[in-house]
Amino acid sequence: MKKDYLFFLLTAAGLGTAPAAQAQSFTKANQYLSVGASLSAFNYFGDLTPRVSFASVRMAAVRPGFGFHVTQRLTPYVSVRGALSFGRITGSDQQAAGKEAAYRYYRNLNFTSNIQELSVVGIFDLVPNHSQAVNRMPIVPYVFGGIAGFHFNPKGTVDGGTVPAGLKPDAQVELQPLRTEGRYYHRAQLAIPFGAGVRLKVAKNMDVGVELGWRKTFTDYLDDVSTTYVSVARLSTPAARYFGNGITRTDQNTPEQMDVPGALRGNSGGKDWYITTGISVNYILNKNIKTNKSR
């Protein structure tokens, strides 16, 4: 009985000290650097999605993107990643809402914007790696979060409504300088990137990953739409008067007070988001990857 009790105590002590021993065995030699590239699909949530809802996605509005990143492993669980990404987002009342959604149909707004993003995020692996790179886990799910700076530049396409002289159908015009709602906003903004993914080891020095990430922004003008219509007198150029007012469809069924000053043009109750879904390839640069001495 005493032997069984002693064996139990020794086993418990061994289990209790195992994580500490593993943590102590993780040294600078276990830290490694990787570089990689990604292909992504970009989408956005805002006033020109089918519904002004975070869950509203129009697959036809998905646009491609790509990026480059550098990742440094710091601990068995934690890595830090810096990334430079490029993509495009788009939205359209005409394509997202038919005549059954009268307000959206007659509002008739649209935009396309390129996104350039520089981000730094912390990555927390749900499966730890206490070993050197060559002995890393074959499948690793993870979550991430951090900070990003991005630049956007919404452009509108001349399509429908009352087109003034000097604007050609299908021409694209930068919207921010027009102040279509009488307001100025910065095209360089901050965002909070967060999400989850999974990494697969496909070679001793290469991983392939799949990742879904959200960007919580602090602007409601990714699509150049946020508040109310303004007086035409405050729109100083033909392009401003068109995108701020004249693009609205007009016929006998146009809702009353559709685009008068003070009428709702957008929903300022929430900020815009964009989302990325991507596949990445990561190449490990650590010199110890070639000399695995464990046998």
Residue 17 clears pLDDT 50, i.e. is over it? no
- How many whole angstroms separate alpha carbon 93 and alpha carbon 272? 16
Confirm whether 76 is domain-assigned: yes
Residue type, 211: E
Confirm whether 3 is domain-assigned: no
pLDDT value, residue 252: 77
173, 261, 48, 149 alpha-carbon torsion, rounded to 10°: 70
Asked if residue 125 lies in contact with residue 197, where contact means CB atoms within 8 angstroms, the answer is: no
Confirm whether 19 is domain-assigned: no
For 213, the domain range is: 29-290
What's CA 79's distance to the chain center, in Å?
Answer: 20
Asked if residue 121 lies in contact with residue 193, where contact means CB atoms within 8 angstroms, the answer is: yes
CATH number of the structural domain spanning residue 245: 2.40.160.20
Confirm whether 128 is domain-assigned: yes
φ/ψ (deg, to 5) at 178: -80, -20
Confirm whether 69 is domain-assigned: yes
Give pLDDT tens digits for 160-189.
888 998 899 999 999 999 999 999 999 999
Residue 200 clears pLDDT 90, i.e. is over it? yes
Confirm whether 200 is domain-assigned: yes
Count of domains observed in the chain: 1
Give pLDDT tens digits for 82-116.
999 999 999 998 887 766 678 888 899 999 999 99
Three-class DSSP category at 134: helix
- How many whole angstroms separate alpha carbon 134 and alpha carbon 259? 63
Confirm whether 138 is domain-assigned: yes
